[in-house]
Amino acid sequence: MLPLDGMTVVALEQAVAAPFATRQLADLGARVIKVERPGVGDFARGYDETVNGLASHFVWLNRSKESLTLNLKEDGAKGVLHRLIERADVFVQNLAPGAAERLGLGADELRREHPRLIHCSISGYGGGGPYAQKKAYDLLVQCEAGLVSITGTPETPSKVGISIADIAAGMYAYSGILSALLRRERAGEGAVLEVSMLEALGEWMGFPAYFAGYGDKEPQRSGASHAAIAPYGPFECGDGGVIFLGIQNEREWESFCEVVLGQPALARDERFATNSERVANRDVLHREIEAIFEGLSSEEAIERLETAKIANARMRTVRDFLDHPQLEARNRWREVGSPAGPLRALIPPVSMRGVESAMKPIPDVGEHTDAILEELGLDAGTVADLRDRGAV
């Protein structure tokens, strides 16, 4: 039995944040009915055609779901959606601000009708305040949260290379829904959840927020190095390979100087005697390290780092990651079905002993519409009428 077997989630969702939350619920066994626009579906289906003709974002976010197409501008379609919600445990939406309320799908209205329903809304900036109606895309929220200001090189601010604001919001929606389901099990009542991308990412900005709020300067951009620890970051070896290492304390610093660099006296150099001094003299420190690493291959450097018990990593490409020996050894890959045939996918990162995640196919647009309408008791004539009116 999967943890969420028997739970039904109706998701009026698009793009990344809400689909990320509901896909994780689906992986745990929940039945997730994804409501899409007739014809085109979730606009994330059209981001690219990289995965055998499918969009990489959509493939990532939508396995194990059922796709129902509804045109919610049509009353008949609204009726179908309300009948679905009557049977649902969870309703998730990330429409434009105010759209759910205009459709009669706001939290207050649905919870009056269905007191045990868990209603979750995901937005860019939350339901109140001066930014409530502002459009919110991942990059823009990264900017508003201050993340771009501390990411990149000293010369060039950069965004994070993944949709981190969407992912943060999706993670908190997912964990919030699980918490609400647990409370409902104990207290018998549903819940209203609200998650904003800005506030979710703001939680992840804790270190720089405290550093800036209580210090006398903003965190500095330091590329792939650490802004507050040295040495910590990338170093090029004699064979052109780049390795990363991180020193966490003085014991490791002494071991690094002795075993890796072969210069134990460097640990006592007053320029590098404490982490604060090493950060202040980072450029000089890096030149000292690079002078040694120029005479080592990346494999030799890693061997020395391992011997000294210093944390280290190779800089892998994404393609390298796909063939990572650790993932292979731990049997983390599965195949999932899709409209384009079987696709490779990582199993969810939380392993529950004795439980295999659902990992069901990625749906085509409207693939389950007829079956769901039949399940709701609509006869063939009614379904044909809905189709004629463009409602499904």
Residue 186 CB-half CA count within 13 A: 5
Alpha-carbon distance of 280 to 290, in angstroms, equals 17
Compute how many other C-beta atoms are within 10 angstroms of the C-beta atom of residue 203. Answer: 12
Residue 105 CB-half CA count within 13 A: 30
Task: Point out the catalytic residue in the list 114, 226, 286, 368.
Answer: 226
Alpha-carbon distance of 61 to 55, in angstroms, equals 10
Beta-bridge partner residues of 193: 120
Alpha-carbon distance of 76 to 97, in angstroms, equals 23
Alpha-carbon dihedral sign for residues 112, 113, 117, 120: negative
226 catalytic? Reply is: yes
Write the CB contacts of 229 (distance below 8 Å, at least 6 apart in sequence): 246, 247, 248, 275, 279
Which letter, b or e, does each residue of 86-109 get, where b requires 16 or more Cβ atoms within 10 Å of its Cβ?
eebbbbbbbbebeebeebebbbee
Nearest to 51 by CA among 336, 330, 370: 336
Alpha-carbon distance of 146 to 135, in angstroms, equals 17
Question: Which residues belong to the active site?
Answer: 226
